[in-house]
Amino acid sequence: SRRAQEALRLLQTGTLCMHYQPKLDLQRGEIVGLEALLRLRLADGSCVEPGRFLPALEQAGFGDMLDLWVVRQVTDDLRRWHAAGFETRVAINLSAATLGEEEAFDEILATMLGFKTLGLEAELLESSLIQQPELVRARLGRLREAGVRVNVDDFGTGYSNLTVFHNAAVDVVKLDRSLLMAAAEPRGAALYREVCAAMQRLGYEVLAEGVETAEEGEFVAACGVALVQGWWISRPLEAAAVPAGVAALA
Ligand code: G
Ligand code: G
Ligand code: MN
Ligand code: NA
């Protein structure tokens, strides 16, 4: 397909790397972790976002191999930061393929286990959690037993399937930016507030994604979210810029 061809062309010309976006704990007023985001750096120094190459690779069956590459890259970055006296928790996006493939899952979990004390987290799309519910439940259980917190990513997009919340054990619900954009209208604001409250009553920690402005920050804080991520706090940072970048936010 055309998309697969573009993805291969990009991979031929660029280098995969990770960027890291800080997450702010509103109560503590501290950066409590980072989300690892895949990028492709081109020779001219510009970066391509994953939307242009990741879906084609996942469709071609490379999702689990890519996740394994990401976990190794993140743990390398964590080692370098640790040597420089910087420690943090990092959340890794996992593709649906990884939850389904035993070999890939075991290897990724083993790699994560080596970094238990630093605190790794997993982010999974709702759509990855609704297929093979028994298998997914077992795999999420193994992640959480290993101390890996599970985040439901992009909540509120696609067709939200609420069975995730009684079938699967998760720790954090990340409310998608589209819900926040809809909150510019009164009904959208009420929906955001109620979804946030319901998730908290069910015992989940709630993170507001894509918070771009102080006004949005004040709104989500008033809704009671625990964690905030978005340009208002920080853009995703290059790995080398993370220790100083996070220190500057403190
Ligand atoms: O960083 P950006 O907004 O362009 O990310 C676009 C999408 O790609 C997001 O949905 C995000 O979850 C996904 N994504 C980003 N980095 C990774 C990664 O390392 N692995 C996987 N599987 N998905 C990622
Ligand atoms: O994993 P997820 O689908 O949540 O990916 C998050 C994506 O959103 C990343 O690609 C990141 O670059 C992007 N992003 C992060 N903060 C903001 C923001 O404040 N506004 C917008 N529009 N996008 C953001
Ligand atoms: Mn994510
Ligand atoms: Na998201």
- Closest atom of ligand 2 to CA, residue 153: 4
Q: Which of 93, 154, 237 to mutate to test the pocket of ligand 1 (most atoms within 8 A of CB)?
A: 93
Arithmetic mean of pLDDT, 159-171: 79
Ligand 2 atom closest to 19 (CA): 12
Q: At what angle do helices 214-223 and 186-201 cross, to 10 degrees?
A: 50
Provide the token pair at 125.
């799309």
Note the CATH architecture for domain 2-249. Alpha-Beta Barrel (3.20)
ipTM of the predicted structure? Answer: 0.96
Distances (CA, A) of 86 to 24, 54, 82, 113: 17, 30, 5, 19
Segment 26-39 mean pLDDT: 97
Judge if the beta carbon of residue 126 lies within 6 A of ligand 1. no
Instruction: Assess whether the C-beta atom of 21 lies below 6 angstroms from ligand 2.
Output: yes
Q: Is the pLDDT of residue 33 over 90?
A: yes
pLDDT score of 117 more than 70:
no
Least confident of 38-52, 127-141, 191-205, 215-229: 127-141
- Cα distances from 223 to residues 26, 157, 171, in angstroms, run 12, 19, 19
- 21 C-alpha to ligand 3 centroid (Å): 10
Q: Is the CB of 47 under 6 A from ligand 2?
A: no
- Which residues, 6+ apart, have CB-to-CB distance to 34 below 8 Å? 20, 21, 22, 23, 88, 89, 90, 91, 242, 246
Kindly report the pTM of this predicted structure: 0.96
**Residues 6+ away with beta carbon under 8 Å from 7:** 52, 53, 54, 56, 57
> What integer pLDDT is reported at residue 223 of this predicted model?
98
Domain ranges of the chain: 2-249
